[in-house]
Structure 1
Amino acid sequence: MKSFAMKHRGLVKEDNQDLFFVKEFDDGSILLAVADGLGGMVGGKRAAEMAKESLNNFNPECQTVEAHIEELMQEANRRIMETVEKEPDLEGMGTTMTAAWVRNGNVCWAHVGDSRLYLFRGDELRQITEDDTMAGFLFSEGELTKEEARIHPGNKFVFQCIGGSGEFEADTGNFK
């Protein structure tokens, strides 16, 4: 399997707090992730770096990969909250993260925030994760259409992230 990652600041943001992680293992499996520091919050990029660093502890031999990835996210969360305790001016720093481990055509993933995971197969692009935003929640409940969610004022504010308020529950899953 071949992997590729890149980032782009875009047309609006002055600072890009997006980070990616790509690690290939001896068995041919690969761990991929994106972390996006919360824009407008002091320490967003630092939080993304801490979340990314936590993935260095990934163990491809674990039994429950999705739970293992979430535990690494929780580990990053604890480190971020400890940092905020020591440096109160960083209050509110946080990051989104989506991580996926791919081995032999199987994908196990964990997600928190609004950094999306997509599956591109054949000529179909399918969104796997749902955004942890008010607009994402309203869409998943059938209250908004996809287009309404895209322009909803609540589509920019995540209610779950690593750091931030200190508690989250990652969405997890797998597919072939």
Structure 2
Amino acid sequence: MLRFEVVTDIGKKRTVNEDSAAIFAIQDGPTLAVVADGMGGHRGGDFASSTAVGILGEQFLKVDNPASMEEEDWKEWLQETVLHINKTLFEIAENDEDFKGMGTTLDAVLIYGNNGLVAHIGDSRVYTINRYEIQQITKDHSFVNILLDSGEITEEEAAKHPQRNWIMRAVGSEKSIVPDFHKIKLDEQTYLLICTDGLSNKVDYESIQTIVTSDGDLYDKAVELVELANELGGEDNISVILASPYDSEVSK
């Protein structure tokens, strides 16, 4: 049984929060945690992220007989729903000048028991964290990551690269999209963190791990992560979903 906290913040430099984040739960069934970071101008980015999160949540809560669904069924459902969201956003962008060029990152984590299924597009991230390690589950669909994979640049160069915000895959910006899927295991010592790049571009692994695994209230930890990203510049919107098993929390 997991406890969730959601914190989203406009940051220090933006006039609009183009991030969306939400938790959806089916009674006696799985939970769906979703984070999206929109792009494409004030109207487009905000609309893309909120629409993606809204459709996912709406479709999830309508699932027939969720208790009977296996992992493969959920994977198929996630894939089909992401394709539907992509088609919806793409067609709106094609037909309305105000929304031209819009898109959104999308990380949806379906949690059932101690298992998690991650659908990922873009450069928002999913991490699992315990006292011993922090593990990045997702791989950024970014220009800089392509350069990193090919060995053209180092991790240090990637962190300062002028094109580090260039995304190579986003929901709604192409006619068709294929999400990456990852499986995760959660136990009573492991936290789940889903965040937009407003956090991951600013706060290093060590700081994230220290804050998340410290004693204290889960909501306070989520707020502390956001506040640190703002202290370090806060150029972007910052969104965080932080989850932990109930018994791993020590209240202040």
TM-score normalised by structure 1 residue count: 0.89
Kindly tell me: are residues 50 and 62 of structure 1, through their superposed partners in 2, closer, same or farther at Cα, counting changes over 3 Å?
Answer: farther
Partner of 2:104: 95
Which runs of no fewer than 5 residues in structure 1 stay unpaired? Answer: none
Find runs of 4+ consecutive structure 1 residues off by over 6 angstroms.
Answer: none
- 1:61-118: CA deviations, max 9, x gaps? 5442233222211111111122123313321111111010111110101000111111
- 1:106-153: CA deviations, max 9, x gaps? 010100011111111234221111111110222234433322222122
Partner of 2:48: 47
User: Identity over the aligned pairs, expressed in percent?
Assistant: 31
Q: Judging by fraction of residues, say which structure has more helix.
A: 2
| 1: CA distance, partners of 2:12 / 2:59 | 35
Partner of 2:124: 115
| 2: CA distance, partners of 1:87 / 1:113 | 23
Deviation at 1:18, TM superposition (A): 0.6
| 2: CA distance, partners of 1:87 / 1:40 | 13
Partner of 1:31: 32
Deviation at 1:30, TM superposition (A): 1.2
Kindly tell me: are residues 73 and 113 of structure 1, through their superposed partners in 2, closer, same or farther at Cα, counting changes over 3 Å?
Answer: same
Deviation at 1:28, TM superposition (A): 4.9
Larger radius of gyration between Structure 1 and Structure 2: 2
| 1: CA distance, partners of 2:135 / 2:101 | 32
Deviation at 1:36, TM superposition (A): 0.8
Greater length-normalized contact order (CA 8 Å, ≥ 6 residues apart): 2
Which runs of no fewer than 5 residues in structure 2 stay unpaired? Answer: 186-252
| 2: CA distance, partners of 1:21 / 1:62 | 22
RMSD of equivalent CA atoms:
1.9
Partner of 1:159: 168
| 2: CA distance, partners of 1:117 / 1:91 | 28
**Do 2:106 and 2:122's aligned partners in 1 also have CA atoms closer than 8 Å?**
yes
| 1: CA distance, partners of 2:92 / 2:24 | 26
Aligned length: 176
SS in 2 for 1:155: coil
Matching residue within 165, 170, 174 for 2:179? 170
